[in-house]
Chains A and B, each alone.
Chain A
Amino acid sequence: MNKTINQKAWFFVIPVFVLVAFNAAIPLMTVVNYSFQETFGNNVFAWEGTRWFKQILLSERFHAALGRQIAFTFIILLIQIPLGIGIALTMPKKGWGVPVCLILMSMPLLIPWNVVGAMWNIFALPDIGFLGHSLNGLGFDYNFTQQPGDAWFTTILMDVWHWTSLVVLLSYAGLNSIQPAYYQAAEIDGASRWATFRYIELPKMKKVLTLAILLRFMDSFMIYTEPFVLTGGGPGNTTAFLSIDLVKMALGQFDLGPAAAMSLIYFFIVLLVCWVFYNLMMKNEAQS
Chain B
Amino acid sequence: MFSNLRAATWGEVGKAKEKGFFDFDLFSWMAWTWQTAAFFIFIALCITVMLIWEKKVPGGSPRKGILGLDTTRGDRLFVSLLGSAFIHLAWLGLVGSVLWIASIICVAYFVVVFKYV
Contact = CB atoms under 8 A, between A and B. Distances in A.
Contacts of A286: 70
B96 A54 contact: yes
A286 B62 CA distance: 14
A44 B36 contact: no
Interface in B69-100: 69-70, 78-79, 82, 85-86, 89, 92-93, 96, 99
Interface residues of A, number: 28
A58 B93 contact: yes
Given A46-B7, A272-B82, A275-B78, A33 B32 contact: yes
Contacts of A265: 89
B8 interface: yes
A26 interface: yes
Contacts of A50: 92, 99
Which label, helix, strand, loop or mixed, suits the secondary structure of the B interface?
A: helix
A118 interface: no
Contact of A53 (B32, B39, B40, B92): B92
Interface in B1-51: 7-10, 12-14, 28-33, 35-36, 39-40
Given A45-B7, A47-B9, A272-B86, 20 more contacts: A29-B36, A30-B29, A32-B39, A33-B30, A33-B32, A33-B36, A34-B31, A36-B33, A36-B36, A37-B33, A45-B31, A45-B33, A46-B13, A54-B93, A265-B89, A268-B82, A268-B85, A268-B89, A272-B82, A275-B78
Leading 7 A-B pairs by shortest Cβ distance: A57-B93, A47-B7, A33-B31, A45-B31, A43-B28, A30-B30, A33-B36
